[in-house]
Every structure is written in C-alpha cells, then in structure tokens.
C-alpha cells in the first residue's frame, strides 16, 4: 500500500449545502453513511459526543449542524485526516476537538473522560477474508487492523452510565457486531437499511446503551430509494432519506 500527501482535495456539500467538507480526492471519502449515522443519534443540546475514527469529521459535524450546543470530540489515527477535520470544523464554525491517536492504545486525553454518546463508522471489511485496498488511507478506513470487538470495547469504556452508542456497519458483519456489543452494553436496537424495495439489507445501524436492560429489538428495515432499480441520473431517495441528506433532519429511529 502507498500513502500520498493530501494536496489534492475537493470541497463537498453535505446536508443540502448546510455543511461543506474538505476531503482527499483519492483515498477514503465520506458519503451518505456518516450522514445517516449522525441523523440516528438521539442527542440533546448540552450533551457530549465522541466520534471514534472521525476521518474528516463528517458524522460529528453533521450532528453538530443538526443539534446545537454539543460538546464534540473526535479521535482519528491518521494525522492528515485529523487536520482536515479541524479545518472543516473551523470553516463551518462548529466547535470540534480532534485528538490524534489509535483507539487500540487510547490517547491519554481520552482515558479519563466519559461521554453521553459515542458514534462510529468502523472499518466495514474483515481483512482475514478480504483483500486490502492499494491506497493506505483508504485501507485504514475500510479494513484497518483493529478488530471490531475492540472498537466496541473501547466505546463502552468511554460511555458514561446510561450513555448511548451508535454504530453503522455492513449487514454481513452483524454477528460480530452483536457479539461484541453484548459484552458491555444492553438495550440493543437494530435498524436495517435497505437500498431498494425487495433488496436485502446491506447496512445496519445499531443503538446500544451502557447499563441498558431492555430486550433486543429488530426494527423494520428503512428503504433508502423509492424505485426497485436505478432509473437514470436522478437520485430517487425516499422522502425520509432525502430529508436527512438534504435538509439535515433526524433519522426516525423507531420507538
């Protein structure tokens, strides 16, 4: 794998232009996944949020744009991405503390802190059964060496009692995700994201609570696109998803 300097950037519009983020033209680029993750978080003004593996800050800054007066912190292992996250926070006037470090060896500034919410978009692929990406920065984001179980373990440690964890992950990693979450969290609720009517779920959002005791709940899937197949250049998102992606609305996680 090779890593190239981040001197070729794009500035991309999110939330219908309410947020603009610098990203590398090559390597890992945030898309709709962190936006959906942020929209699912049931946070309130005045609460604290840790975005583990924050990248350029997409999820945390989308959340900060939707909910005022949050204390936002990000942890990012790649210095170039951490620098872009700080730049994006400054240029969008959203307070966001970004700490560089590896969650496998939690940086000292985070070890003694706890948060009302932890959010994460951990690597989607298990490299024990897959092929690494050629671009180093992309590989760290999509299939880094830290196991999913350690992501969940470290998140649980950073949560305050009764705090919430939100994770977006591939559906085929669900067995690993649920096994890891059951070790230190409860009140697990799962929202499948279905790309089109009649298709299988490809992504899921998990909500879990530290100290939660409610029974596991598997919610009906949320369909992202109205049509059964791609029918041209128009995006054809469902009304619910369009309001999240274009208007910055909250994702209606079932009660």
| Residue-averaged pLDDT of the chain | 90
State the average pLDDT over residues 51-66: 98
CA 226 to chain centre: 24
pLDDT for the residue 142: 44
Q: For the chain, what percent of residues have pLDDT higher than 70?
A: 87
pLDDT 10s digits, 92-114: 999 999 999 999 999 999 998 99
Q: Identify any residues that bridge with 120 across adjacent strands, giving them in sequence order.
A: 52, 167
Residue 215 neighbours by CB under 8 Å, 6+ apart: none
The model's pTM is 0.89
pLDDT 10s digits, 166-202: 999 999 999 999 999 998 899 999 999 999 999 999 9
Residue 64 neighbours by CB under 8 Å, 6+ apart: 70, 72, 94, 95, 96
pLDDT for the residue 33: 96
Reported as a pLDDT band with limits 50, 70 and 90, residue 138 is: very low
Reported as a pLDDT band with limits 50, 70 and 90, residue 3 is: very low
- Between 233 and 13, the more confident residue is 13
Domains and CATH numbers, the chain: 9-247 (3.40.50.150)
Residue located via tokens 């959002």? 205
């Amino acid at each position: 794998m090779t890593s190239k300097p981040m001197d070729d950037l794009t500035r991309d519009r999110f939330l219908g232009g309410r947020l603009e983020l610098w990203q590398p033209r090559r390597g890992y680029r945030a898309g709709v996944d962190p936006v959906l993750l942020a929209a699912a978080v049931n946070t309130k003004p005045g609460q604290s949020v840790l975005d583990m593996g924050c990248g350029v800050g997409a999820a945390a800054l989308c959340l900060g744009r939707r909910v005022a007066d949050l204390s936002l912190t990000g942890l990012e292992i790649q210095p170039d991405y951490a620098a872009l996250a700080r730049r994006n926070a400054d240029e969008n006037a959203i307070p966001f503390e970004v700490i560089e470090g590896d969650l496998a060896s939690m940086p000292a500034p985070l070890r003694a802190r706890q948060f009302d919410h932890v959010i994460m978009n951990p690597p989607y692929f298990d490299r024990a059964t897959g092929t690494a990406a050629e671009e180093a920065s992309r590989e760290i984001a999509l299939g880094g060496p830290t196991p999913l179980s350690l992501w969940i373990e470290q998140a649980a440690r950073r949560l305050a009692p009764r705090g919430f964890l939100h994770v977006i992950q591939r559906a085929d990693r669900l067995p690993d995700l649920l096994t890891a979450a059951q070790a230190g969290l409860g009140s697990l609720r799962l929202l499948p994201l279905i790309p089109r009517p009649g298709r299988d779920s490809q992504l899921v959002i998990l909500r879990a609570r530290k100290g939660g005791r409610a029974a596991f709940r598997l919610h009906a899937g949320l369909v992202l696109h109205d049509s059964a197949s791609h029918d041209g250049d128009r995006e054809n998102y469902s009304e619910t998803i369009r309001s999240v992606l274009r208007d910055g609305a909250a994702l209606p996680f079932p009660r």
